Amino acid sequence: MKTPNFPVPLLQPLKKRSGSNLQLAATVGQSVLEQQRRLVHLVHVTARKISEMFLEIRLLQQRLMKGVAEFLGNDHCIIDAASLSLVQDCACVFETVSSSLRCEGLQNVDKACQQVLEEYDRLSASLISTGEASRETMHYEDKVANLEQQAVSGDKLHRNIGKLEQAKGVLNINNSTCQELMSSFEEKRTVDLRKTLHAMLSCYSKMVSAWGSAMQPVADQFLVEFEVGSCVEVVGLQKAKELNGQVVVVESIVEAEGRCVVIAANGEQKAIRFENLRPTGSSASAPLACLEE
């Protein structure tokens, strides 16, 4: 899709009021440039923050699994087999996704944003210089016009005409440079957004997708730990200690409270926290069987 033209010409050829024309053009150009510069800057900050966040997550995962390995090396009997299996699965997933969390893609986006912003800074400086040269030219245009209107002649008029010509010369040079930079900006606006915004979203979505895909099987295992109708063992209760060691059936799950409503062998219902329930591995298709054992 072709990049749309700006609503008004950004740079115009010199006319009688050349300073006024180019001052307006520079102002409009600065406004358009600033809008895109703000967006690229936001992409730059976002890409850097996300990259830092994922690198921190990667480091935390490595530290966590190292700590778990050291702990289990000294006291592995404290964790049940089902939980140990899930811990091992998580460790494998963390290792699998570790390379994707290095964020090379986002780091490339970071560099691209820096390059684009440097180009925008050069154009911005050129637009400012053109605006200043325009005001200088307008000043001497007005001054010469007033002197001519007052029929002032001699050195004063010639001196101001000389300054006007000098100001126009500076304006022409600045205008030429600015026009070249602005043309490049117009041609590359779409490309700049693709290598910054588009690239950042692409990298981010792929990283999240890869991470999510790798974690999904483990997440599914956590989800089925407490299914309605499954058999679980009560452990570690401090108040209702008589229930410890009993196998109960999950009747409902209250995620917001972190509890399961379970049915004991005597038919009594009890809301028990997740950490006080240990899966037995019994099939949810035969929930009553576990109560009869």
Residue 149: is its pLDDT beyond 90?
no
Confidence band, pLDDT 50/70/90 cuts, at residue 23: low
CATH class of 21-225: mainly alpha
pTM of model > 0.75: no
pLDDT digits (tens, 9 = 90+) for 236-290: 999 889 999 999 999 999 999 999 999 998 889 999 999 999 988 765 455 455 5
| Residue range(s) of every CATH 1.20.1270.60 domain in the chain | 21-225
- CA 155 to chain CA centroid, nearest Å: 63
Q: Under CATH, what is the fold of the domain 230-279?
A: SH3 type barrels. (2.30.30)
What's the CA gap between 103 and 101, in Å, rounded?
A: 5
Q: How many other CB atoms are there within 10 angstroms of residue 71's CB atom?
A: 12
Closest CA to 260 of 247, 275, 246: 275
Q: How many residues are there in the chain?
A: 293
Which of 25-34, 49-58, 176-185 has the weakest average pLDDT? 25-34
Residues of CATH 2.30.30.140 domain(s) within the chain? Answer: 230-279
| DSSP conformation letters of 240-261 | SGGGTT-EEEEEEEEGGGTEEE
Tell me the Cα Rg of the chain: 36
